[in-house]
Amino acid sequence: MELLLSNNDIITELEREGTVRKIVKRMDVRPDDAYDLEQEIFLALLKYDNSKLNELWGKWGINAEGETVRQITFAAASIARNQYYSSRSTFVSRYKRFRARSNELTDDIKNNLATEFDY
């Protein structure tokens, strides 16, 4: 019987290897979105069924650059793409929309302060 790793152990190893960071970097996301996107990918992977995550961890494939990588890399890339580009993803609702609304509010405050103190 094969010993299964915990989801936490697999995620820890992915973080240590920088696998998810490399995926996000290749996507060329906004710098202020990168860390949050990485965390959303980790959260999504943590929710995977343990046997499925171990299966992805144990299998290997070849990426577009011809490098041998774990199958979990493809799963993480798929999650990243879906989270960042889907208009209904958790990432978009938590971060992108919030940031857009926050920036609008900041602009409104700056404009109101500027007009309030005009002499």
Structure tokens at 62: 């070849």
- Measured CA to CA, the distance from residue 1 to residue 114 in angstroms comes to 70
> Is 91 within the bounds of a domain?
no
Q: What is the 3-state secondary structure (H, E, C) of the chain?
A: CCCCCCHHHHHHHHHHHCHHHHHHHHHCCCHHHHHHHHHHHHHHHHCCCHHHHHHHHHCEEECCCCCEEEHHHHHHHHHHHHHHHCCCCHHHHHHHHHHHHHHHHHHHHHHHHHHHCCC
> Is 54 within the bounds of a domain?
yes
- List, for residues 45-59, the tens digit of each pLDDT value: 999 999 999 999 999
- List, for residues 55-78, the tens digit of each pLDDT value: 999 998 888 888 888 999 999 999
- List, for residues 84-112, the tens digit of each pLDDT value: 999 889 888 888 777 777 766 676 676 77
Query: Number of folded domains in the chain?
Result: 1
> Is 52 within the bounds of a domain?
yes
Whether the pLDDT of residue 118 is over 60: the answer is: no
- Measured CA to CA, the distance from residue 25 to residue 33 in angstroms comes to 11
> Is 65 within the bounds of a domain?
yes
Domain that holds residue 27: 7-86
